[in-house]
Chains A and B, each alone.
Chain A
């Protein structure tokens, strides 16, 4: 097993642990930092898989902008850690399953099993089954030449209209966020 592969499995495990931390930790700040760590691991996985631009975007936009926004709001609202949920030992298994949280865990586990079986059952279709070598030999040391060029050409060629639509979406969002978060002064008639 090559170093890149071992690194992938290590990063995948770390990502899953960090994602579990997002759900299980009680302190909102710890949740955000856990998700931040998961995003960095995912960015490294993108890099290993040969998607350099996506890795950079992941760190710039997700880690740099979105997570800072979350941290900012949490600190602005000065949120305290939430109350502890009842543990499995305290309420017993039947009561635990009767609670909504128990049902949720079962649903999520069933969803995961369904997805995993679908993935493992259909992995020998498509290009990989057609006898062609899939693009598996790419690692961070040997980046795909031209991927980012191609990405730009596609983005401003075939996907120009969606690109413009997304920029309009961003503009509309900026206006909407100002309206939503604006403080309503007494005597201000705009709701």
Chain B
């Protein structure tokens, strides 16, 4: 693949923007969590694009590994976030029988 790395970054920016839009637009907690996952994936793609920019395509050339390593850590954090978020969703549903953010306004009132 000889695509310039900036195109990878552009794809990441697009995905992140879509994630931000969904995060603010949607009122379903589960969909909001999905949008967070989308944003984390955009961050991963950015890490990989940066790693690609800092690697050299010559025999024995330096291959940057910090990008992939950080992407792995991001994946772990995403898994943790999904687990805790969904546990909160279940606790919320048990208490209020809803997953809509419009119905969770205790701290606003």
Instruction: Identify the A interface with B (CB < 8 A).
Output: 2, 4-5, 7-9, 12, 15-16, 19-20, 22-23, 28, 31-32, 35, 38-39, 42, 45-46, 48-51, 53-54, 57-58, 61-62, 65-66, 69-70, 73-74, 76-77, 79, 82, 100-101, 104-105, 107-109, 111-112, 115-116, 119-120, 123, 126-128, 132-140, 144, 146-147, 150-151, 154-155, 159, 162, 166, 169-170, 173-174, 176-177, 180-181, 183
Interface majority SS on B: helix, strand, loop or mixed?
Answer: helix
B104 at the interface (CB under 8 A from A): no
Write out, one digit per residue, whether chain B residues 38-57 have a CB within 8 A of any chain A CB (1) or not (0).
Answer: 10010011001001111111
Residues of chain A lying within 8 A (CB to CB) of residue B87:
176-177, 180-181
Interface majority SS on A: helix, strand, loop or mixed?
Answer: helix
The answer to whether A35 touches B45 (Cβ under 8 A) is no
* Nearest residue, chain A, Cβ from B24: A104
Q: Which of A116, A134, A154 contacts B55 (CB 8 A)?
A: A134
Shortest beta-carbon distance from B68 to chain A in Å: 6
The answer to whether B84 touches A69 (Cβ under 8 A) is no
A80 to B56, CA, bound (A): 51
Best-surrounded residue of A4, A8, A174 (most CB of chain B within 10 A): A8
